[in-house]
Structure 1
Amino acid sequence: MTDSDQAPTPRRPFPGRWAAAVAAALVALGLILWLVAAPGDDDTSGVPTAASADAGFARDMAVHHQQAVELSFIVRDRTDDEDVRRLAYDIAQTQANQRGMLLGWLDLWGLPKTSADGYMAWMKGDGHMGHESKDGSLMPGMATSTEISQLSKTSGRQAEILYLQLLTDHHMGGVTMARACAEQCEVPQERQLAEGMVQGQQSEMKLMADMLKERGSAPR
């Protein structure tokens, strides 16, 4: 066993600025959502339906993002590597903020946050399902409960590699979903958010590929 594979010294959670930054961003998002996505008082014609791509993407991506935040919180306590911890912080903060926006839109539209049709129903037959779900995962790219448990039990370089591989898969699934929304969603602000997700997550995938190479590994 090398020093890098030994369990790291227990760390306190990221500084309180993490929670403070997220909370402040979500408060700001509340005002932004009213300004850019809410219909007029007497106009409900612009509100998406529960079966729309807009609602489906908001529901599913909120769940998808939540797992990325969870995985990032796990790895920050499984490694001392500052580059991985910094990446985990950035991913958790970005995706928590975006998740708040997606859920906020559903609230503004008066739509449920779950669907009786299950996950990904809004994408059926649109040609975007090339990145399929693994057995035991909810949606494309998402980790299984076994993989999450494995990450929780590893440490050091092993945890870093597994996290980077899981998040690369996660981002691949997220990009597939975001591209579908960019084409199908009708709310301009949501399409713009989806397009930004594609660009941001593709950039992070390139970074993670480089970080894996530095650790003698590669995406799965």
Structure 2
Amino acid sequence: MMEILLPAFIAGMLVLASHIPLGRQVLARGIIFIDLAVAQAAATGLLAVRHFAHVETEWLLQLAAIATALGFALVLHQLERLGNRVQEALIGATFVVLASASVLMLANDPHGGEHLSASLAGQILWVDTPQLLGLAASAIAALAAMKLFRHPLLGFYLPFAIAITASVQAVGVYLVFASLIFPALSAYQSQRPMQIAAAVGITGYLSGLAASLWLDWPSGPAIVTTLALAAVFAAVTRAVAARQ
């Protein structure tokens, strides 16, 4: 079991390494659903290349997912001029359209249900070494871009697209959203945001993987649930401590 759980846990920590700082920026910018839309864009681009071009070569699929996510990130950057409310509404609408397009592409595929489930709920228990290396490279690239650049396109949208593209293929759309938002929410307006967010993320992944092992639950949904519970617990603890 450790041969399966240890790579899954490492994958989760690599996802958190980039998603915690990105999640803080998402909350600050007020565009909460951007990760869902970018993750869905990457997944839809990959499905489209596989469906229409019948491509199965791994590096070509990765290139298609990255190109789709980067293109979508450029569009989102241009939408900033419309204001947060309009931008957020368009992001949500785009997510719905992309998700529906994915369902339509897989409608006549005998394995369509499996592909759709994998893109949404993920298969974190089956991550392999190339995926872990990809997650590590994307996390390093995203963190470096956030550190080096101040322009929103290079300091936020570009690293966001890079990190999300690698993560969604390893852990799925749902877990990408949970890893980005729940730790950030738990530490919102805290004096120690990184420490609290990291604690929530690590606790959520450890608890979710343990629940998946002991209760025979699907690993992705289990981790999403435990991340939410850990975030709620941290928020309640902070509230109680503040009153005292």
Q: Fold-level match, TM-score > 0.5?
A: no
Higher helix fraction: Structure 1 or Structure 2?
A: 2
TM-score, structure 2 as length reference: 0.27
Q: RCO (CA 8 Å, sep 6+): is it higher in 1 or 2? A: 2
